Every structure is written in C-alpha cells, then in structure tokens.
Structure 1
Amino acid sequence: MAAAVLVLGAAGTGGWFYGELSGNIRGAGVGDALGDDRPRAVGGGTNILVIGSDSRAGLGGSYGGELATTQSDTLMLVHLSGSGEWATVVSFPRDSWVRIPACARGDGTTSTPHDFKINAAFAIGGATGDTAKAAACAIRTVERNAGVRVDHFVIVDFRGFTGMVNALDGVEVCPRRPIHDRKARLDLPAGCRTVRDREALGYVRARYSMGDGTDLGRIGRQQEFMRALLAKAGSRLYDPESLYGFLDSATRSLTTDPGLAGLKPLYELASEVRDVPADRVAFLTVPNHPRARDVPGDTANVVWHEPAAGELFAALGQDREMTRGQLKKAAGRPAPATDPVPVTVLNGTDTPGRARELAGRLGALGFRVTATGNAPAPAGRSTLTYPEGLAAGARALATHLPGLDPAPAAGAASGAVTLTIGPDLPDLTG
C-alpha cells in the first residue's frame, strides 16, 4: 500500500521506466484456494490485506537465517471507504490466538483446522513455497475470524523494505531509551539517528527488549516508521535517482493478486487514497487481552477482546467509519454481565447426560445456556453454529473448545449459538 501511494510520482515518466517497474510486480492468483464459504461483501468499500512476509530470501542468511518457515511478520487490513472520504488501517497482533481453517498447500494436501497464532496461517499455506497458497490461507484465516471479506492482497518482503530505506539514504528514528535486542540484532543508543540496512529492519522488528516484550508495542513503532519513510520518500520525489531506487525496491518486493499486479492498477488504487484527509485515516489495532485470562499459563498469546473486536469488524463489513476514540470506548466496555452469550447444547452421542454436564460448565464460564436436548450424531464430529448477529459470541465460545470451528447456519436455533456434542468434543479450557 505504501508503494502504491508512491508510484503516483512515477506515473508521468517514460514508457521504459513504467514498463520496467510494472514488470517487477509479481501476481499470484488465489482462485479456488479461498473456497466458497466466504463472508458476503455487504457494505461497500474495498478491503486489502497487507502481509509483511518475514522471508529472508535475498538477504544472504545474514539476518534471521535460522528461521525455518515463512510467516506473516506484519498483518494489516486496509479498508478504503466506498465514499472515498475516509480509510481505516487495522493491525492484527501476530500473537492473536485464532482458529486457522483448513488450507490448501502447494503439494496438493490440505491442513487440518486448528487453533494457533494468526501469523502461522501464511506459513501453513506456503509450506512448499507456494506464495498463492500462503496468501490464500492468510486470507481464509482473517475472513473466518473477522467475518470481513478480503477483496485484494499485497505481500511485501524484507528485501524490499531494506532496499526502500537504503534508496532514501536511511530514515531517522529517535528512541528515548537505548535498545539492545539480541534477537533483532539491534544495538542502538538513545536519541535520534539515521538507520538503514539491518539496523532499520531490526528497529521495526524488535520486541523482546522494548516495552512489555509483546507485539503490540512493535505495531505502533512500525506505523511510526512507515509514516517517516513515506514522508522522506515524498521529499525525494524530484530526485530521479532516489525515486527510481525507492520504486524499484518497492515494486520488486511486491506480490499481489492479479487485479493489482501492475503499476496501472496500483496507480488507480492510490488515486482513491490521495484525496482522503490525513485526519480521516485511522490506524487501529484489533482490541485484545492476554490469553492467560482465559487459559492460565499462556503468557505468549492474546485473544481478541469482545465486544469491541466484533464492533470493529462489523463496522468494516458495513463500510462504517470507526475512529480511535470510538474503538477505545468500545474496548473499555466489557460484555454486559446481564446479557451473556446464549447457547443451546445438544447431545449427539450415546452417552446420557453430556448436554447437561457441559451446560453446567459453560454456565460457570459465563455463558447462558438457554436449552439442552438430544440430536442426531453430527457425522462423528461436534459442531458449533450460530445465527446472524451472534458470530462474536460463537468465537468467544470457540476459544474454550479447541478444535471447533464456528460456522454460520441458517438453521441454527433462533437467538442462540448451537453446540452439538459429538464423540470428538475436546475438554473445556480455562
């Protein structure tokens, strides 16, 4: 997305310049890998998933060469409003504990649905090096957990990031405290200095030595760095050598869906963005809380905080603007104790009393069981379905039932999430 805005400066250059840069951009069709069970595009606007790949390809093994898989180091959803008057950039913490659906791999196999960090989805789909499958799995995971349809995707790799920074002779950062981060291979004194190469990459990736050691502080630092990078690039628009180096690195780092693969579609997309007032572009992070609150002992991950996360995703799906202040207010408002998630529990096994037993455990966790009963065995597997309007409640229940994948169902009990117990039902957690 950042590169898309900057190509505006190159739009009027010679044909050879335009053709060479456009040819740098790789297209990857996700096609059938997304499946048919996708959220409906109901409210207008455009959603673009931006994936920062932590692939070390092209870095000569000098940075993080011990990493065995490619994961999405950064994951953002950019929503451009249908009116063109505002935009929202939502960052997903990479440690978000979510449901990763079944994904097609490049070797013809399909992964098993399971719960894990959201950044692993890209690695699962791309286990054999297939970028399209990697993107498709990341998209499926975001769509399944956020309930928002993704229209386009852009993948940016590490090599392009360092090339963009170096083409601008570095970017100034001003840490207030010294940074000594062994994993990011970063050693910076306090105060302002210009960073490039591995220092720049380490600065946006450092996490363990700064703040609380989570990904949340790093998200804010990455957003600040991108603002500084774009500001410096803007000041170099009339320096052909710097501009070409920047755009060459930017475009070489990009892989997009076929609809965005080329300078022309990126230019058209950037044209939609350029007139959005700066104060109408909101940079947000999915509201979250430590997973240890639900699963004692897990200090490494976070879960999305309801009802705020659900309100944010609903706004995106309906093309409604949400400001930082509105999201902060929603995040500070817990789910009403008088209105817990309503659940119908059905026993689909041959063991009597399973529904009543589980209903009691769900009640202790704060859910409101509205009915229990029996049901035909669901093909040997438990199911969790929800009617329109209760997707967030189904996700909240699923965090306590590892292995269950919430699914919309027109036939679900009216006004309640429906849990049908099969012989495979895992134990409750938390």
Structure 2
Amino acid sequence: MDSLPVPPERPAPPDVAAPLSRHLRFAHLFPAGRPLRLQAGGTLSDVRVAYEEYGTPAPSGDNTVFVCHALTGDAHPARHDPEDLPGWWEPMIGPGRPIDTDHFHVVCANVLGGCAGTTGPRTPGPDGRPYGPDFPAVTMSDMVRVHRELLAHLGVGRLHAVVGGSLGGMQALEWLLRHPGDAAGFVLVATAAALTTDNLAFSAVGRAAIRSDARFAQGRYAEDPDNPGPVDGLGVARMLAHLTYMSAESLDAKFGRRFQPVPDGTGAARGPFAVERYLEHQAGKLVARFDANSYLTLTAAMDAYDAFARPHALVPGATPDVHLVSFASDRLFGPQATRELDERLTAAGLTVTRYHDTTSAAGHDAFLLDEPGYLAHMATLFRLPARVPAG
C-alpha cells in the first residue's frame, strides 16, 4: 500500500505511453479482499492510481484542494519546478497563482479508466493481456470512489475544495451530490449535469472514427506489439472534439481562410487551409500520448452521466459553498448548462454563486488558458481561509 515515487530515470509502466513527471506517485488501492465494486456491475482489484501532490498539508488538515482533470488530462496539472514537464493547468496552480501552492496542498489523480498511470484498458487484466475492450464500464461515481479512497490512503480528511472543469467538473458535481460533507467548497467550471443530444452526436461520430480504423482490431490492438493502434481514427475523433473546444470566433480570428498547404501540394484529399493543419497538429499531439480504448471508456462515462437521475445526498441547509463558472463563448457546455445546474442545486437547498465570463472568445478551452478575468475570479474563490503551515 506504499506510495511509490517515480525518479527521473525510472521508466513508465509498460501500459503508459506518455512521458511522466518525476513527481508522479502510484498508490495501489482496493486489494483482492476488498475490490472496487463498480456502479455498472463487476469489480476491479489492485487498482493502481497515479497522482501528484503540490504544497504542504496544514497541521489542521483544512487546506487540501482536490483537482479533477478533464477528458484527456492526467495527474500533472502544473510544473513542480522549472525542470519539470509542463502541466495542463499551469495558469491556475502554483505559487502566486489562483490555487496558490504556497498556501494550499493540492492533489490531482489520473481517473479510473485513464491511460496515464491509473488502471485502465491498457492495464494487464487477470489473464495477463491488456484489458482492451473488456475493461468494464466506469462512471463518474466510480471515479469519485477512487479519488476518495486515494485521499483516505493519503490520510487527508475534509477538503478545502474540490475543483474541476469539463469532465473534471462532472466529477466535482458527482462528489458534491453524493458526498457534500467532504469539502468546504466545490468549484464546477465549464461543465454540465448531462450531455445534450448535440454533445452525444459529436461523441458518436468520434467513436465511429475510432471503430472504422482497421488497426482498431475490435479493440485488441494493444495485444499486438506491431500494431500502433487506431491512430488515424483517434486523431479524427480528436479533430472533431477540438472543434467543440474552440469557438467559431476564435477559429476565425486565429486562422481565417489563411493558406498553409501540405509539403506535397494540395487537392481534394487534403485542403490547403491553415485550420486543417492546426487540427492535424492537435490530432498528432493526442495520439502520441493517449489510448483509444481509454478515450472510448471516458467518453462513454460522459455520455452516460445524468447527475440528477438518481437520488442525491443533499439536504436543505447543506453547508458547502458551490461556485459555478461558465464562458459565453463555450459551445460545448454553454451558459444554459450552468443555468440549469444553478436551478437544480439551488432547489436542493445549496447556496450557489455563478460567474459568467463574457470577455474570453476562446470557447470551452478558456478554462485551461490564461484568461485574466476568469483567473482573477478564481483567485477570489481561493483567497485564503486555509492557514499557512507553521514553521
């Protein structure tokens, strides 16, 4: 049950393709005698969880912030030092940033079903082969169960806050609904209680692109060392999804109809426009670090999530502070999704504050970026009540 450091020279586990920060740790949870019982049925034993910590826990134990990552994120939201790998939420986490690690202890873990160190489809199953398509369906509830078990393993009690954006916001919402006493506050950023039909349609096309790649091999590509997997299909799925992460305004401002032909010329097969090169670049970045079966597993969890479809643990007068953050330019989880969340949570008796950013044209991805108004608001949410550790 010990947490194991990953020194710089230590290779990543064989089921992890992406480079890992030397600050990554592993915890092994849910032993065979006490397996993780999944919401949709089935169990998992010896669940490996990849996580990172920043800052120092206060003696009072009231300064821990748990960060939930989005669809293709991981346990590394920010650099620990100048020599570290860049993280996915650099503007938000670190000394002097909104979630100030000089004051807060931050924990972030790769989700169950992921591919950056936590047990997922590339992990060897009981027969020694990668789970692949046999990896069981996971839900937001399962992800939160693993997060909570990790915190118990680390000796962390009540949290200062749970925060996340997009898929991470869904995890934070699930945590709030089922375990509202776990944290003093919950910050849900650019998220929704359930996907719209439009969202589901984008997911369906992305899945179809992965399945249609001949190298998908019915999901068993990881069993063949000579099969790189459905990189073309996953790349197309990423290109499609990335369009929902940016606004039409930001795409037009960044690229317009500017030409950027491929080296071997243009034609009907590949267009001559810079926006196409950009989407190809985004596809290449993802397939170099992400697993297609994990993409299918996590998008399926998002598709299935319907936060208020089953009873919740909230009662009138519940104590956590709830903060909703949305962006006017977000066409994936727009302002209407936040309004609906506000109405449902307020009806459940919670005190909810909303911040709606109208200054950023970046779209859904704005929650990851250096957007001054949004970051200033987040800084107000995380302005001290946590105490600085003595000494």
Same fold (TM over 0.5): no
Rg (Cα) greater in structure: 1
Higher strand share goes to which structure?
Answer: 1
Normalising by structure 1, what TM-score? 0.27
| TM-score (norm. length: structure 2) | 0.29
